[in-house]
Amino acid sequence: MKSDKLSSLDYAQFGKVPLFKTLSMDAVIEVCRAGEVRKVDRGSFYFIQGDIADQMYLLLVGRIKLTQLNGDGQQILLRVIGPYSLFGLIVMAQVEQYPVSAEALEDCTALAWTQSCLMQFVSRYPVFALNALQMMALYTQEFQERLRQMATERVENRLAHTLLRLASQSGKKVATGVLIDLRLTRKDLGEMTGTTLYTVSRLLRQWENQGLITADREHIIICNPHGLVRIAEG
Amino acid sequence: MKSDKLSSLDYAQFGKVPLFKTLSMDAVIEVCRAGEVRKVDRGSFYFIQGDIADQMYLLLVGRIKLTQLNGDGQQILLRVIGPYSLFGLIVMAQVEQYPVSAEALEDCTALAWTQSCLMQFVSRYPVFALNALQMMALYTQEFQERLRQMATERVENRLAHTLLRLASQSGKKVATGVLIDLRLTRKDLGEMTGTTLYTVSRLLRQWENQGLITADREHIIICNPHGLVRIAEG
DNA sequence: TTGAATTATTGCGCAAGCGCAAAGATTTCG
DNA sequence: CGAAATCTTTGCGCTTGCGCAATAATTCAA
């Protein structure tokens, strides 16, 4: 991992990061100046599940995949994030180890802060801790909800929910619908939904035949969101 | 729900609540004095999923079941808590609505604080927010883990995990093993594990025949934790 | 450009576990 | 105490969706 000091960046974007909410622009600039720039090549990891949790990151360029392994090598994909998203937030909660792995899907650039650095900012700007709490609460809610879906809903409902969530988190409007441009494989979608790549392939094909989506190899376009919602809701 | 002011209680116990970690005993007493005592009968609710989230609670007496519903009335059981556990922590994160329901399994007594009251304590004792963040991070981790288990493991593994988790959270040592004394029904266990009461019944019976557990109607005793771990790990 | 690697599709058989039904056990409450 | 309610067990048939295998399509790298 190469590292550097931050030189000149578009500070306007930083203000929109939820962790910095209600901070003055001066404070935001001060915080960002204190971060180290860290670059990681495609396929490499910012951290691996079980590593000592010592740094929190703000992604500037690229895409990151957050995954969790179990004992026998099976993994689930928890989320895929893009620029101006935080990862490793757990560091603010003073947890010992990262509970997930963060893999660069493309060549990535991120800002990194150490735990002690973050704690200094917390004592100077107390709203920092409350913002972090708010973000963590949203994660808890999301995972509770996904857990409930996993426990009570069938694969087709869950996959439809996954597509809709991805579309709302990072979908782009195009002529024929909403494009999910995350280069997710059938295996990735299976790991997000709790099923196999075979079942994902069969369902996507079926929905494509029904005109609900266009499932090109890596670009999925949702043509009929309403129809997909009906499937998601059972 | 009847309510009252706190009169005389065993303050020593309050010090052990994780949210109050590193607070002076004087501060703990001040915080607890500010809470209102709220009693709820067995079968009633402190709050229901979707209610405006206006109060955080510290359970003093009884047991509370936290559940989440989905659209068609199916529910999952997220956790069962006992005395000196917090619930409704989400209020500190300034989230609009409770994402779960809190049902009294027995006649219960709890201390309740309003959001504005909590925010005052946060500004006076900044470590409050960090402690809340830490607790919320532990929840996130637990739900991530349960999500992964739900997605990748089979029912028998998950049920064994559930029993082991319950034993470690609230098990009591008895002559023949570790007693889980939460009066959980087969349906409750099914809702925690993501399966049906039938499958729970069959598995418990099977494990009882193998001498791993004693599954009385409402008391489950784990006689052979090691054997159960082997099942949990596959 | 060509061969290797990765990803997607689809047929097929099978196992896990769902869920109805019926009977029995235990608890609750008037 | 006795009736109603709740909880548990177990047989049985059936559905979901897993997962191997073979093939095809696409991408990557040299």
pLDDT tens per residue across span A49-65: 999 999 999 999 999 99
CB B189 within 8 A of CB B159: yes
- Protein-covered nucleotides of chain D (CB closer than 7 Å) are 6-11, 16-21, 26-27
Whether A129 has its CB under 8 Å from any CB of chain B: the answer is: yes
Structure-token pair, residue A165 = 């969530």
Backbone angles phi, psi at A48, to 5 degrees: -120, 140
Q: How far apart are CA A16 and CA A127, in angstroms?
A: 15
Residue B145 bridge partners (DSSP): none
CATH architecture, range B151-232 = Orthogonal Bundle (1.10)
Which residue spans within chain A are E strands per DSSP?
Answer: 2-5, 36-40, 45-47, 55-61, 64-69, 75-81, 86-87, 101-104, 108-114, 171-174, 177-180, 213-215, 220-222
Q: Where in chain B is the domain with CATH 2.60.120.10?
A: 2-126
- Closest-CA distance of chain A to residue B135, Å: 8
**Separation of CA A217 and C1' D24 in angstroms?**
13
Percent of chain A's residues with pLDDT above 70: 96
Backbone angles phi, psi at B4, to 5 degrees: -165, 170
Tell me if B93 and A137 make a contact (CB, 8 A cut-off). yes
- Closest-CA distance of chain A to residue B149, Å: 8
CB A232 within 8 A of CB A165: no
Q: Which of A50, A134, A59 is nearest to A92 (CA)?
A: A134
Tell me if A92 and B133 make a contact (CB, 8 A cut-off). yes
Question: Which residues, 6+ apart, have CB-to-CB distance to A127 below 8 Å?
Answer: A21, A22, A23
The pLDDT score that the predictor gives to residue B106 is 87
Residue A1 has pLDDT above 80, yes or no: no
Torsion sign across C-alpha atoms A185, B157, B193, B155: positive
CB B204 within 8 A of CB B213: yes
Q: Kindly determine whether the C-beta of residue A146 is less than 7 Å away from any atom of nucleic acid strand C.
A: no
Residue A2 has pLDDT above 80, yes or no: no
Residues 205-234 of A with CB under 7 A from strand C: 205, 215, 217-218
**pLDDT (tens digit per residue) in A81-104:** 999 999 999 999 999 999 999 999
Question: How far, in Å, are A9, A32, A86 from residue A12 at the CA level?
Answer: 9, 12, 16
Backbone angles phi, psi at B179, to 5 degrees: -95, 130
The pLDDT score that the predictor gives to residue B169 is 86
In this structure, the number of other CB atoms found within 10 A of the CB of residue B141 comes to 20
**Residue for token pair 């899907």:** A105
Query: Which residue is nearest nucleotide C10, judged by alpha carbon to C1' distance?
Result: A202
**pLDDT (tens digit per residue) in B55-103:** 999 999 999 999 999 888 889 999 999 899 999 999 999 999 999 999 9
Structure-token pair, residue A35 = 């971060």
Residue A4 has pLDDT above 60, yes or no: no
B146 CB neighbours in chain A (<8 A) are: 147
A129 CB neighbours in chain B (<8 A) are: 126, 129-130, 133
Whether B41 has its CB under 8 Å from any CB of chain A: the answer is: no
Q: Where in chain B is the domain with CATH 1.10.10.10?
A: 151-232
SS3 A175: coil
pLDDT-derived band at A43 (thresholds 50, 70, 90) equals: confident
Whether B144 has its CB under 8 Å from any CB of chain A: the answer is: yes
SS3 B157: helix
Tens place of pLDDT per residue across chain B (234 aa): 545 555 555 677 888 899 999 999 999 999 999 999 999 988 899 999 999 999 999 999 999 999 999 888 889 999 999 899 999 999 999 999 999 999 998 889 999 999 999 999 999 999 999 999 999 999 999 999 999 999 999 999 999 999 999 999 889 999 999 999 899 999 999 999 999 999 999 999 999 999 999 998 888 999 999 999 999 998
In this structure, the number of other CB atoms found within 10 A of the CB of residue B9 comes to 15
The pLDDT score that the predictor gives to residue A80 is 92
Residues 128-187 of B with CB under 7 A from strand C: 154-156
Q: Kindly determine whether the C-beta of residue B204 is less than 7 Å away from any atom of nucleic acid strand D.
A: yes
Q: Which of A228, A210, A217, A214 is nearest to A162 (CA)?
A: A228
SS3 B139: helix
The pLDDT score that the predictor gives to residue A213 is 96
**pLDDT (tens digit per residue) in A182-209:** 999 999 999 999 999 999 999 999 999 9
Amino acid at A21: K
**Residue of A70, A133, A149 lying closest to B148 (CB–CB):** A70
CATH architecture, range B2-126 = Sandwich (2.60)
- Closest-CA distance of chain A to residue B102, Å: 15
Question: Which residues, 6+ apart, have CB-to-CB distance to A72 below 8 Å?
Answer: B234
CB B128 within 8 A of CB B136: no
Residue A23 has pLDDT above 90, yes or no: yes
Amino acid at A220: I
**Residue for token pair 């997220």:** B78
Q: Which of A131, A133, A58, A128 is nearest to B138 (CA)?
A: A133
Strand nucleotide closest to residue B183 (CA to C1'): D7
In this structure, the number of other CB atoms found within 10 A of the CB of residue A40 comes to 22
Question: Which residues, 6+ apart, have CB-to-CB distance to B35 below 8 Å?
Answer: B6, B58, B111, B112, B113
The pLDDT score that the predictor gives to residue A170 is 84
